[in-house]
Amino acid sequence: MPHTPQIKIPATYMRGGTSKGVFFRLADLPEKAQTPGPARDNMLLRVIGSPDPYQKQTDGMGGATSSTSKTVILSKSTQPDHDVDYLFGQVSIDKPFVDWSGNCGNLTAAVGAFAINSGFVAKDRIPENGTAVVRIWQANIHKTIIANVPITNGEVQETGDFELDGVTFPAAEVQVEFMDPADGEGSMFPTGNLVDELEVPGVGTLKATMINAGIPTVFINAAEVGYKGSELQDDINSDPKALTMFETIRAYGALKMGLIQNIEEAESRQHTPKVAIVAPPADYTSSSGKKIAAGDIDVLVRALSMGKLHHAMMGTAAVSIATAAAIPGTLVNLAAGGGDRTSVTFGHPSGTLQVGAEAKEVNGQWTATKAIMSRSARILMEGWVRIPGEA
């Protein structure tokens, strides 16, 4: 029986922040995959190596974690005063679906560099030496993001001495600005409250801050679910009961936030919302063995992504943390000591991260104008990915 030969698709494999993904130009995709739908999803699933019941993604480009099971499609921007349209697809590891419901903040740092290298940014806006300001339209959530990309001798500077906990080697710093990060279609706090009583069957009634800034996130106090907030990945990911509990909390949080209409829909919307636990500062040892002192951080945060505790922190969740910390009375703000603040340094499993946000109350409604963080990015490999022609 004859088999269809493989096809090859131009692609670039990039690290952005603490994530990795396969980047495509929209025009380079097979014709059927240039528009949203099953053909595009099936192509990306095959590229990444999903669905994989072994959860290894051995026959694809994925790395068997939520941080490394990501895809990006970029094109010349359709929006005025923007350079590039950025579409992000979170690929499930063991299920046959791609979640398009949110953004990846970490990979945003790589989008700016890819946009410059792909010619999406006008040459007169790229200095010979200095910083290129790349205006990104995040097509999943309809938001503007600014990536400040370092340039040396007219080209993207990828190497440097900026260190990011969760990434082994230093690189060049890319400052990323998330403009108006709150959900433009509704309240930043979908329930109208800074803190809610969230009823979760089988778990209990928990205090929860449910915020939509950067990415929809459900924050709960670590102590309420039996944790300290200083846990590392294995402390949670090796416990099936804990993972089931967090997924149940996430699902009922999604329902309360209005992101889904019935609880069954949560299974097909795994990328959003995120669920995170918060706690006051405490000493702990990071996953790399680095000692983190309570005095060096404002708050402890642990967040789950695609059903597992993240090894560091998702960029979009960092925006959510920064925004919530800036608003007096949220669980994040209270765990950080309360009061007004425009920046926060939080401890995560791999170390620490400082993020800033500007928030204000207008007519009784909180809104965020900007969130800022520093990441790094670099090209790991470029050329073509190959997939069986029938995929």
| Residues labelled as active-site residues | 104, 314
Q: How far is CA 18 from CA 201, 213, 378, 379, in A?
A: 34, 20, 11, 13
Neighbours of 226 (CB within 10 A): 9
State which amino acid sits at residue 352: T
Whether 156 and 114 have beta carbons less than 8 Å apart is answered as no
Cα–Cα dist 45/47, whole Å: 6
Residue with tokens 């790399």: 288
Helix or strand holding residue 275 (H, E):
strand 274-279
Phi-psi region of 214 (alpha: psi -120 to 50; beta: other; left: phi over 0): left
Residues 6+ apart with CB under 8 A from 84: 74, 75, 76, 77, 111, 115, 118, 120, 121, 134, 135, 136, 137
Alpha-carbon distance of 140 to 380, in angstroms, equals 25
- Which stretches within 297-352 are classed as H helix? 315-325, 331-335
Burial 142-173, CB ≥16 within 10 A → b, else e: ebbbbbbbbbeeeebbbeeeeebbbbeeebbb
Report how far apart, in Å, the C-alpha atoms of 272 and of each of 140, 169, 322, 383 are. Answer: 12, 30, 18, 31
Closest C-alpha to 134, from 377, 356, 379:
377
Contacts of 177 (CB under 8 A, 6+ apart): 145, 146, 147, 148, 370, 371, 372
Q: For residues 304 and 308, what is the distance between their CA atoms, to the nearest angstrom? A: 5
Instruction: Look up residue 18 and give its DSSP letter.
Output: T
- At residue 328, the 3 state secondary structure works out as coil
